[in-house]
Structure 1
Amino acid sequence: MLNHLQKTVCLAALLIACTTSAAAKIKLSDPIPTGPQVVIGKLENGLTYYIQQNGKPEKKLELRLVVKAGSILEDDDQQGLAHFTEHMAFNGSTHFKKHELVSWLQSIGVKFGADLNAYTSFDETVYILPIPTDKSGNVEQGFLVLKDWAHGLTLTDADIDMERAIVLEEARNAKGAGERINKIVMPKMYNGSRYAQRLPIGQEDILRTFKPDALRRFYRDWYRPDLMAVIVVGDIDPARAAQLVKAHFGGLRNPVPTRVRHDSPIPVRSSTEALVATDPEASGNAVMIRYPVRAARDKATFADYRDKLVRSLFGAMMGNRLQELAQQAKPPFIAGASGQQHLTARYETYFSMAALGKDGAEPAIAALVQENERARRFGFSAQELERGKKNLMRTFERLYGEREKTDSDAYVGELIRNFLERESVPGIENEYNYARELIPAILLDEMNRYARENIPVDTGKLVLYTGSTKAGTAAPSTEQLLAWVDAAARIELTARQEKPMASGLMDTPPAAGSIVAESANKALGLTTLTLSNGVKVILKPTDFANEQIYLGALRPGGITQFAQQDVVNARYANAVVAAMGIKDMSPLDVQKVMAGKTAGVTTGFGPYVDSVGGFAGSTDIDSMLQMLYLKFTNVRRDEDLFTSFLGKQVEGARNVMAQPQAVFADAVVTAMYGASPWPQRPPRPDDFAKLNLERAIALYKDRFTSASGMTFIMVGNFDVAKVRPLIATYLASLPTASLPVNANDVGLRPVRGVIEKAVFSGFEAKSQVAINFTGDAVYSRQAALRLRALVDVMNIRITDVLREKLTLIYGGGMGGSLERVPYGHYAIGASLPTGPANVDKVIAAVFAEIALMKEQGPLAADLDKVKQNWIQVHRRSLRENGYWMDQLQAAVLEETDPAVILTYEQRVAAITAQEVRDAARRYFDLDNYVQVVLYPEKK
């Protein structure tokens, strides 16, 4: 038998052999080849194109126009015009007059904002265009849209002037504590570079007064082929896609003369500094230590790829250590993070940050500095690395398993990063093989060397404190911040000790129950099992995704099962129990035991339902069911973790009511329901004085130590024959003591009559209008569908009239629902941010549209747009596990036939304009609504 020394020598030799073998297969200095899944080409004019054929979802194409031009390229008189140009892309072009583009896209089922969108950043502008390909001509039109964005915007003076108010409204929406703090922080964060002077939203005085020629100059200078990429991913033949790219973009020419696109450097900070930025409306307190910037590492070679894997492992292990600190009874911070962070495509930095608890910045800084130094000096343990490698490898296994079932939009980001950041695109099959070879060869000594070399110890740090001035504690001075960093660096450290962990969630499985009855629904592909404990299980095996299984259950119950004085304990009972872990394991222990597995289970109380939700990878169903069993049978009590949970909740709530939006939300609830404790409100610190550990556990046990009345639904890629014994073991053995299974009507009703209320909060010139219509109604699926149609048509009108025609808002809209529990009732709410001077105009415009809808009903074209979008979404959703889970749960809860899923398109087609008008007359009751308006604080 080998002794310990011999075993160690043999193991070392084996590791060296594995490393040598890996190196022989992959030469780290070689460039990573582009995978066969994508075609990358370049036209003579310099435009780059990417084409990737992908069949999920069917008959859907994801188009992107990526312009390597953002706010960093703006001249002094153009600040904000990169973003303004993005707005103008939807306001008239060579082939689409103003409003025609959005209208056409809506007519083919593409929703403005949700589907059709764009964004502008420092270095790029990206246009997002999903196109359904089920109708002839859609694809060609989609390419025409991209071409117009690239080279055909009309940019008339009148259209530009019309858009100013909308862009200024967007800028107004962004105002608040975060924006004010950023103005202080950004110059230091970017060390005085141009990035600090070119925030994408721009300067308001320039947005109001710029000459249209300044915007046209930006478009002419920077929207040019050599700075563009066209990305085509989806259900299309690559040869046809390439032909369309060449036909539409091959004729574009770069301007002469061509402006040079200079990169903007970020200087390296030469000395350590501290900065304190506070605001009365800040949502919380935080501290960050940002170390000197450095050039971002390249991503072109296998060595770069391997470095990325090492970096991922490092970030995960540091994250686990900081999470463990946050779970202490007296944690140094609420949450923390350390690792590498990209500032721009060309620069990165090492940073450490923490959300602060009641003890403030000093213990947080000490913990961050010490944990960085502990990792740098002593490295990591073999167990930490092994868990990290298992989790990382499982990630690649999941991605590889889904390679034929991944939606097209998931591939787009990688191609955008290839164009902007030179990130390699080897394809998941190659990446999986790289990971299998490289991850096992990453040794502990290498990880510890990475920590020594990459955790900075030099000067040039920025120590940043941000927080509220209404939290009851004074902000530290810059001198204090620097002194705390210095003091933390001088503390003697010892290596972290790894405690022994269990090998699995359960030592032995429970005594199994049995399956006593079975039925099949062949039309829907369902198998229903009745178990020996009375629990039912509906199985829906699918091939939509290879690595996705969902588990869910709903039953009548919820918070309203308990007495009014127990509302707080009931509301947080599930979160309290989850924070303490399961069995004899903390949440972090569970993560460690589950290394290399993908599974999770949650429980929850809604107002009128008890819920269970779970997920698992294809090989981890047993782990998911074990977690569920333990949730019902092994509630863990841990006073330290409860104390930690309570402290985090109090700190999270401490500054909430300093925020105007929270004050407004609270005012809306109060206006509708008075002082009733049943509706959810923004939390306050005093709420948690009512939270009691024993009572929260008791309420949880009252509902979740019995599965009585539950029908579990499992949807995903599983074999029914193989999951049957697991179901018998873990679900048929669940306790099923009798308990009430009903929705308890506690008498909560919204106020009747017309209520109008003004709320004054906030320093910025910002307002928000909330109008809520409520009332009794008889529930039916078709009535609910008609109400939803009314709301969606109204949203088209709000965009067309309030935004585009009257320029009173940037965003906002309506939502609504028809419910049967605890009584038949409906609710429609409008939420419309605007400026204080425009409040009356917005209210008048909304009510004018309501009156028009009640009088004339919807335009036929608008109703057709809504229907087309619903049908597009539905057809895609029929190939999604989450959709089936939602529909089946609703059918069980409502005790209806789930086959109604198959009649959805017919029911949508049956909705008429007259029915929508009738719905408007029924639900927009002008004698019964609540209107609350937020105004800034009176000076």
Structure 2
Amino acid sequence: MRMTFNKHTISAWKWVGTLFTFLILLTQAQAQPKLTDKLPVDPRLKVGKLSNGLTYYIQKNVRPEKKVELRLVVNAGSILEDDDQQGLAHFTEHMAFNGSKNFKKNDLVSFLQSIGVEFGADLNAYTGFDETVYILPIPTEKKENIEKGFQILEDWASTVAFENAEVDKERGVVLEESRLGKGAEDRMFRVVYPKMFDGSKYAQRLPIGKDDILKNFKYDAIKRFYKDWYRPDLMAVIVVGDIEPVEAERLVKLHFEKLKAPATSKPRAYADVPARKSSEGIVVTDPEATNPVIEIFYSYKKTKEETTVGDYREFLIRNLFTAMLSQRLQELTQKPEPPFIFGASNIGGFARGYETYQMFAYVGKSGVDVAVNALIQENERARKFGFTAAEVDRLKKILMKGIERSYNERDKTESSNLVSEYVRNFLEQEPIPGIENEYTYFKTYLDGITLEEVNAYAAKTIPTPTDNKLVVLTSPEKVDFKIPTNAELLAIADNAAKTELGAYEEKAVAASLLEKAPVAGKITAEKEIKEIGVTELTLSNGVKVILKPTEFKNDQIVMNASRFGGQYLYDPAKDRFNAEFASTVVAQMGVAQFSPVDLRKVLAGKTASVAPRISALSETLNGQCSAVDVETMLQLTYLYFTQPRKDDDLFKSFVSKQQALYQNAASDPQFTFQDSTISILYKNHPWAPKLPKPENFSLINEQRALDIYKERFGNANGFTFVLVGKFDLAKLKPLLATYLGSLPSTAQKSTFKDVGLRPVKGVVKKEIHKGTEQKSFIRLFWNGEAPYSDSEQLKIQALTEALNIKIIETLREELSGIYGGGMNGNLNKYPYNNYSIGISFPCGPENVDKLIKAALAEIEKVKANGPSVDDLNKVKETWRQQYEVNIKENTFWARQLLQSAETGSNAGEVLSYEKRIAALTPKDLKDAANKYLDMKNYVQIVLYPEK
């Protein structure tokens, strides 16, 4: 049927069109969220509750593929401990890995390692004041592995064994974890902490507990904690990953519906945090402290529950406020004589359901008075005068850009990120409306937030000068300024806000990075490597560009670049520190007309960053950007090559902050140990690695450092750039020709220099005595020359991973002598063919000899027999699982492609990785152990407490 038109038909269609438009507008108006609307739950997420009270969260998510993230969340932590149980909430978490109904001691960890789940890195748990969370990622390729994963969660929730012998063994491990935290910071914290929570149970319930209780508690005490608090009404099971929701829900019900809620149970009480009744100053010093730090805590207040869209809008205002205040405090650190090294203000706290306004600063050369004054006065300035329209507009752009990127990546978000949100929802009722709804709230309400609203929020949120507060100074005993008394510290804070203040003055900056584009170079050659989806370009200035467009992320491009050269080209007697800090100094001063603060302003609303670096053997550049901001990233790259900025004030600021930061570093036993280790290994070679010391920074000459930077980046010939991510090759090529093809270039080739830096040979054993705590640290090194090959590199890494399994089994599980630590190794091609293998772990001084002997015994076993087939298979499966994730990561490909270019190896070898690891045999590792772990050529260095 043909339609004919006349005047009446046209009029009718106009009316229909108007009606259609009205209906669309009406639908849109109805779809717009109202401030009174309740915040929904992400529609992709299923939230349910079993009849016994257990809550579950389920969501299908295919990033990464073939993996599911499982969590058991227990709404119980150290705050619920009885007096004889202090530390046992955390101890219970440890015991969950030491035997249950279906998994004997070590069986659980061994099984998970066999399917590629790495203990510590993947499999883990943590205990806080109010919660205990068990972390279990499971590969989903085999159905039986998923079943076992749920069985593990069920066992953790209901049938932990608590065998007496295993409890006693685990005491040593937990005490070693406690020992790890001891030192100056911990000693000072334990004085301050009770003051922070005066009158609250939080003041007496640090999760690590008390050593005397950990050593001596009766078995019934830990079993009582488990019985009282590990119950379904206080638990959540979270399942997010590559699994069908129907199957996930079936497994949750199968394993957890059977758990019985106790007939009678203790009420899950929440500790109160009373408001501070008066102001107080407290000064705590320690001879091993490294940095003076100021902290100001105001009264804790109950957090407001966020339930409506209006609450979400207020959350946006809060984000604007905290970000703008943080940027102002950062600007203060750019002064030639900064008031502090670093400063911050935020709203937060340790206590569930409470928050406090707090300020924090690392004190610099100017001393306590100046730091406190700047911190309080900048807050007071914001309270009295608010922010500027330009600041608010910039932050709106930054926040909007952030949510846009999250929205763009909504189908590429990692499961671990989603799981973390659901954990917080269960424990703290954090809203989980989902990224689509959050994006809608941002678009609907962010732009409409007025300057007046933000300033009103600042005025009511920032405490007044008369509000009760706790002012804390923790400090080394010896500093360049007068350490105040408690009363004097409080007086400084009280008087800080009495100074007459003016409003913040906004400095205008240019609207764009470049006034005009540079004259473009040309693409002189192009080559395609189809097997790995890569295109190689050669530019007219000698720059090589390797491009790999991917779909791994919707809004990410990663850029890595390098060329041989580096610090070793310079005379260490004259230019050691100029060369070492040249790229750092430039990063502190900015590019073109833009200081770092100005760069942040001009880049508001864009996601693009570039970081140049001069290492020992090369010049490198690393960058990232969103897909639409690739030109901005390339413009930044161009500026870092061609227009590094000199700024005397920012240079002075950098030197001042670094000298203050490291002034007391040598007071830390670990710093002294590391410094001594370097001296022993390299016998004070002029190019031996150096830990930062205050006097080093006074040896930097601003102009000479800038000249060295220009020498290294002033000639781009020989640089290889790798870009991986979401881009259109045809559209990117002209931009590369413009911004990379125009980089300055000469015919001079750049290469690295071998300065003869070699570690000591033979058997060397040294002891370092430093520190008052009963803490030791063991380091063993094997170094030497050996031909480089990718296959040998793989063998060394497999060897160290297999030995790590034995170190954990023997030193931790059998001997209860360590909490963490391990082995690593590498084969290096530059500046000469060499290998380096090391073992390191902290322990008690009384266990040093026993643990070294045990570690060396495991090495001798592998040298004699090779690793067990089971252990090698665990390593292989872990690597295979990691590879399946990595091969779909932009950062992995950028790193691999650049490394292949540097070493001259075939980039396509990355595709044969699984075959190469599958081919490894126990004999390969046995041979590697005998070749590289020569007991006639190793270094043993041990830190002991002072005699």
TM-score range, shorter chain: over 0.9
Aligned amino acid, residue 210 of structure 2: Q
Aligned to 1:90: 97
Distance 1:59 1:757 in 2: 48
Aligned to 2:793: 784
Q: Deviation per CA, 1:621-640, whole angstroms, max 9, x where unpaired? A: 01100000000111111000
Aligned to 2:133: 126
Aligned amino acid, residue 134 of structure 1: E
Structure 2's unaligned 5+ residue stretches are 1-24
Range with greater deviation from structure 2 (467-476 or 355-364): 467-476
Q: CA deviation at 1:372?
A: 1.1
Secondary structure of 1:115's counterpart equals: coil
Secondary structure of 1:109's counterpart equals: coil
Distance 2:848 2:483 in 1: 36
Distance 2:277 2:214 in 1: 36
Q: CA deviation at 1:468?
A: 1.1
Cα pair 1:703 1:739 within 8 Å, conserved? no
Q: Deviation per CA, 1:414-447, whole angstroms, max 9, x where unpaired? A: 1001001101111101110111011011100100
Q: Deviation per CA, 1:381-439, whole angstroms, max 9, x where unpaired? A: 10000000000000100000100111111111110010011011111011101110110
Distance of aligned partners of 1:739 and 1:201 in 2 relative to their CA distance in 1, 3 Å threshold: farther
**Structure 1 segments (4+ residues) deviating >4 Å:** 21-24
Distance of aligned partners of 1:520 and 1:635 in 2 relative to their CA distance in 1, 3 Å threshold: same
Distance 2:784 2:481 in 1: 45
Cα pair 2:338 2:657 within 8 Å, conserved? no
Aligned to 1:160: 167
Q: 1:608 aligns with which of 599, 607, 617?
A: 617
Cα pair 2:577 2:696 within 8 Å, conserved? yes
Q: CA deviation at 1:320?
A: 1.0
Cα pair 2:553 2:726 within 8 Å, conserved? yes
- 1:825 maps onto 2:843 in alignment: no
Aligned to 1:234: 241
Aligned to 1:369: 376
Secondary structure of 1:758's counterpart equals: strand
Q: CA deviation at 1:207?
A: 0.6
Aligned to 2:670: 661
Q: CA deviation at 1:691?
A: 1.0
Range with greater deviation from structure 2 (338-347 or 228-237): 338-347
Q: CA deviation at 1:278?
A: 1.6
- 1:136 maps onto 2:143 in alignment: yes
Cα pair 2:561 2:622 within 8 Å, conserved? yes
Cα pair 1:667 1:932 within 8 Å, conserved? no
Distance 1:185 1:723 in 2: 56
1:223-622 mapped onto 2 (5 Å cutoff) = 223-457=230-464, 458-565=466-573, 566-622=575-631
Secondary structure of 2:752's counterpart equals: coil
Aligned to 2:932: 923
Aligned to 2:191: 184
Distance 1:321 1:169 in 2: 42
Distance 1:517 1:740 in 2: 19
Q: CA deviation at 1:31?
A: 1.5
Aligned to 2:896: 887
Range with greater deviation from structure 2 (860-869 or 607-616): 607-616
Cα pair 2:338 2:366 within 8 Å, conserved? no
Cα pair 2:52 2:232 within 8 Å, conserved? yes
Q: CA deviation at 1:466?
A: 1.1
Q: 1:634 aligns with which of 633, 643, 655?
A: 643
Range with greater deviation from structure 2 (40-49 or 279-288): 279-288
Q: 1:690 aligns with which of 695, 699, 702?
A: 699
Q: Deviation per CA, 1:57-86, whole angstroms, max 9, x where unpaired? A: 110000000000100000000000000000
Distance of aligned partners of 1:285 and 1:739 in 2 relative to their CA distance in 1, 3 Å threshold: farther
TM normalised by structure 2 equals 0.96
Distance 1:777 1:507 in 2: 52
Distance 1:926 1:691 in 2: 42
Q: 1:764 aligns with which of 762, 773, 779?
A: 773
Q: Deviation per CA, 1:838-864, whole angstroms, max 9, x where unpaired? A: 011011111111111111110110000
Distance 1:409 1:468 in 2: 40
Distance 1:841 1:568 in 2: 41
Q: CA deviation at 1:679?
A: 2.7
Aligned amino acid, residue 854 of structure 2: A
Cα pair 2:337 2:366 within 8 Å, conserved? no
Distance 1:22 1:416 in 2: 34
Distance of aligned partners of 1:499 and 1:49 in 2 relative to their CA distance in 1, 3 Å threshold: same
Secondary structure of 1:137's counterpart equals: helix
Distance 1:356 1:432 in 2: 40
Q: Deviation per CA, 1:743-798, whole angstroms, max 9, x where unpaired? A: 21000001111110000011100001100000111100000000001000010000
Q: Deviation per CA, 1:163-186, whole angstroms, max 9, x where unpaired? A: 111111111111111111110111
Aligned to 2:914: 905
Cα pair 1:53 1:236 within 8 Å, conserved? yes
Q: Deviation per CA, 1:693-745, whole angstroms, max 9, x where unpaired? A: 01111111110112110111100011101111111110000011244422210
Secondary structure of 1:56's counterpart equals: coil
Distance of aligned partners of 1:141 and 1:687 in 2 relative to their CA distance in 1, 3 Å threshold: same
Aligned to 1:839: 848
Q: CA deviation at 1:680?
A: 2.1
Aligned amino acid, residue 44 of structure 1: S
Aligned to 2:8: none
Distance 2:350 2:910 in 1: 47
Cα pair 1:399 1:428 within 8 Å, conserved? yes
Secondary structure of 1:690's counterpart equals: coil
Q: Deviation per CA, 1:670-708, whole angstroms, max 9, x where unpaired? A: 111011232322211111121110111111111011211
Please report the RMSD computed on the Cα atoms of aligned residues, expressed in angstroms.
Answer: 1.3
Secondary structure of 1:506's counterpart equals: coil
Aligned to 1:647: 656
Distance 1:133 1:677 in 2: 53
1:736-815 mapped onto 2 (5 Å cutoff) = 736-815=745-824
Distance 1:706 1:37 in 2: 52
Aligned to 1:873: 882
Q: 2:730 aligns with which of 721, 729, 735?
A: 721
Range with greater deviation from structure 2 (617-626 or 296-305): 296-305
Range with greater deviation from structure 2 (468-477 or 622-631): 468-477
Secondary structure of 2:194's counterpart equals: helix
Aligned to 2:19: none
Distance 1:431 1:643 in 2: 43
Q: CA deviation at 1:302?
A: 1.3
Q: Deviation per CA, 1:315-370, whole angstroms, max 9, x where unpaired? A: 11001111111100111111111121233230001111111111111111111111
Q: CA deviation at 1:193?
A: 1.2
Secondary structure of 1:339's counterpart equals: strand
Aligned amino acid, residue 349 of structure 2: H
Aligned amino acid, residue 247 of structure 2: R
Range with greater deviation from structure 2 (907-916 or 275-284): 275-284
TM normalised by structure 1 equals 0.97
Secondary structure of 2:778's counterpart equals: strand
Aligned amino acid, residue 495 of structure 1: A
Cα pair 1:110 1:869 within 8 Å, conserved? yes
Distance 2:355 2:821 in 1: 36
Aligned to 2:115: 108
Aligned amino acid, residue 517 of structure 1: A
Q: CA deviation at 1:517?
A: 1.5
